[in-house]
Structure 1
Amino acid sequence: MTEEKGIVREQIEGVPEGLCWLSVLSCLLLACCYVGSLYVWRSDLPRDHPAVIKRRFTSVLIVSGLSPLFVWAWREFTAVRTLSPLLALLGIRLEGFISAIVLPLLLTMVLFLGPLIQLSMDCPWSFIDGIRVVLDPCFWTLCLSDMRWLRNQVVAPLTEELVFRACMLPMLVPCAGPTTAIFTCPLFFGVGHLMGPVLCHSFCNYMGFPAISTALEHPQRPIILSSYLLGVTLFFLLLFPLTDPSYYGVPTPVCTLTSSPSSLCFS
């Protein structure tokens, strides 16, 4: 652990003055490019019209595909150097791949325990029926042909996580540190509106905001409300154990960009 921290300190020596301003402005420019790409198409059609969705798919996919170039240009322009390749800094790597898919999604589902219990109680299907539907190719054919489903469950989570998290974290970590950078990225997402986060994002889009008012009027209100409370409690109890860096490969590549390693980077 001492050696790892030593490597980190050695790599970020010579960081130029004004790096934080440059990083923030780069993130803001990237956010504006993403949001602006949604409005380059003029149309009187509603936002959920398939033609509008397809046009927006084109523009956001182009911006998202070019977004790693922002990080590359930022890294080349500054004195910040790291031994990790660009894709690793963006969170795209094989080390810890399975853990990064399973554990964050599990943690997110725990947070949504109440809505999931409520959904299962109100669903007319049995568990076996649900499994049959999920395994039915016709079900997925219908989903993939639905532009709104593709937007909410695939394109939006993938592009937003790539732009607003994967590309912005490496630019913010050197001056803000891992913890502050993690909580700052959603602010740029607010202006605008890999791997594990995409699935969690897609799951949250599917679940939507918990229908608390409906839960209060549900016939099984005590069970539903208890599951809401249990889910939130378990989420906070499991948050740090399930996000332990040892599950995802140590040291985390993006953490090699900071001179102030935290517990988020090293187990």
Structure 2
Amino acid sequence: MEESEGSLTKPVAVIACIAMTLFYVAILYAPTLILRLPPPQSFNSFMIRRFICAAVSSVASVIFIALILPIRSMEASYLFGVYGIRSDHLWQAVVFPLFLTSLMYAGSMMFKSMSLVNRWKEHRNQDGQMFFDCVKNILQSFPGKMLSVTSDILFWRNLIVAPLTEELVFRACMIPLLLCGGFRAYNVIFLCPTFFSLAHLNHMREVYSRHNYSLLKASMVIGLQLGYTVIFGSYASFLFIRTGNIVAPLVAHAFCNYMGLPVLFVQRKGLVTVAFIAGVISFVWLLFPITRPDLYNDRTNNCRCWHGYCSWS
């Protein structure tokens, strides 16, 4: 790995990451505080305005990194490769990280499965419907439910906009910067989530004011959220560095947003706890084998400093 390429240093890399973090958060408030735009008329308008701000921040960060990194070629495929935006090994970057991430939610999926079975049993006892009739009803109602979900602004925030913009800024932009600044891969995995968690401190004000929580309760809620973002940020950084593909942490991010916090324990449902423990053990066992750099890359040697997977070969 070429850590000495160019004139980028560790302090410059850290300062640049802090600047991108502050800009990512600050621009969310720019429409009202700087542009003096009137307050949005609805929640959907408010979220769309934030989507635009996040997109502007992401594009600005991509341009900023292109100017600061020692990039010698302006070829499109080369530039996209800097940020892990690649078309090769695409199915591996989707399937393997998604499967690996789902193992941490084995307890959650067991709980959901048991709930669905219980609901079907109750429904069958009431209406006398057979299993295949229930499946038929579910399939018939599926298009309407999908339309309802995709028209929900929170769906776009949690599964599309937030994963895309956050992974682009906090993984695709910051990790190459830190690697080229001379930080080792293991250090980046734990350093990068620090910036990611700091970007969520703005939620403190929203939780405190909107939900009318006490300062102590709001601090506890945000503390839990920050702890979760640090853990997930480390995992997402690990995926990006190991695979060299932005799709890997992107699908993991969207999946985690959809599932929420993993279910660890449910009273009188011991199978949920057993499934969770089995999932954690499987996750730890498969973490390195299923993220081997050679599964996602044709070459794992003689590459640039922003291609972190080179240091793992």
Does 1:168 find its partner at 2:174? Answer: yes
Query: Does the 8 Å CA contact 2:302/2:310 hold for their aligned counterparts?
Result: no
Offset at residue 14 of structure 1 (A)? 5.2
Q: Which amino acid aligns with 2:10?
A: C
- 1:1-267 maps to which residues of 2 (within 5 A)? 8-9=1-2, 12-13=3-4, 15-16=6-7, 19-42=9-32, 49-75=43-69, 85-123=78-116, 124=119, 128=135, 132=139, 136-174=142-180, 175-193=182-200, 194-212=246-264, 215-217=265-267, 219-220=268-269, 222-251=270-299, 256-257=304-305, 264=312, 266=313
CA 1:237 to 1:128, structure 2 compared with 1: closer, same or farther past 3 Å? farther
Offset at residue 37 of structure 1 (A)? 1.7
> Equivalent residue for 2:206?
none
SS in 1 for 2:31: coil
Offset at residue 254 of structure 1 (A)? 11
> Equivalent residue for 1:5?
none
Which consecutive residues of structure 2, in runs of 5 or more, have no partner in the other structure?
Answer: 33-37, 121-130, 201-245
Offset at residue 104 of structure 1 (A)? 0.5
Task: Render the CA deviation track for 1:176-196: whole Å, top value 9, x for unaligned.
Answer: 022222222211101111212
Task: Render the CA deviation track for 1:136-163: whole Å, top value 9, x for unaligned.
Answer: 4433322221111110111111111111
Between the aligned partners of 1:85 and 1:172, the Cα distance in structure 2 is 19
CA 1:255 to 1:235, structure 2 compared with 1: closer, same or farther past 3 Å? farther
CA 1:28 to 1:118, structure 2 compared with 1: closer, same or farther past 3 Å? same
Task: Render the CA deviation track for 1:100-152: whole Å, top value 9, x for unaligned.
Answer: 11100110001111111111111336794697379x44333222211111101
Q: Which amino acid aligns with 1:132?
A: L
Query: Does the 8 Å CA contact 1:14/1:80 hold for their aligned counterparts?
Result: no
Which consecutive residues of structure 1, in runs of 5 or more, have no partner in the other structure?
Answer: 1-7
CA 1:149 to 1:108, structure 2 compared with 1: closer, same or farther past 3 Å? same
Q: Which amino acid aligns with 2:57?
A: V
Query: Does the 8 Å CA contact 2:94/2:248 hold for their aligned counterparts?
Result: yes
Query: Does the 8 Å CA contact 1:108/1:200 hold for their aligned counterparts?
Result: yes
Query: Does the 8 Å CA contact 2:300/2:310 hold for their aligned counterparts?
Result: no
Query: Does the 8 Å CA contact 2:301/2:310 hold for their aligned counterparts?
Result: no
TM-score, length-scaled by structure 1: 0.80
CA 1:260 to 1:245, structure 2 compared with 1: closer, same or farther past 3 Å? closer
CA 1:93 to 1:254, structure 2 compared with 1: closer, same or farther past 3 Å? farther
Query: Does the 8 Å CA contact 1:67/1:167 hold for their aligned counterparts?
Result: yes
Between the aligned partners of 1:223 and 1:159, the Cα distance in structure 2 is 37
Offset at residue 262 of structure 1 (A)? 6.3
Between the aligned partners of 1:130 and 1:246, the Cα distance in structure 2 is 44
Task: Render the CA deviation track for 1:225-257: whole Å, top value 9, x for unaligned.
Answer: 100101111100010011000110044599620
Offset at residue 66 of structure 1 (A)? 2.5
Offset at residue 211 of structure 1 (A)? 3.9
Between the aligned partners of 1:163 and 1:255, the Cα distance in structure 2 is 22
CA 1:182 to 1:30, structure 2 compared with 1: closer, same or farther past 3 Å? same
Task: Render the CA deviation track for 1:197-238: whole Å, top value 9, x for unaligned.
Answer: 1111111111111244xx332x32x21110010111110001
CA 1:14 to 1:91, structure 2 compared with 1: closer, same or farther past 3 Å? closer
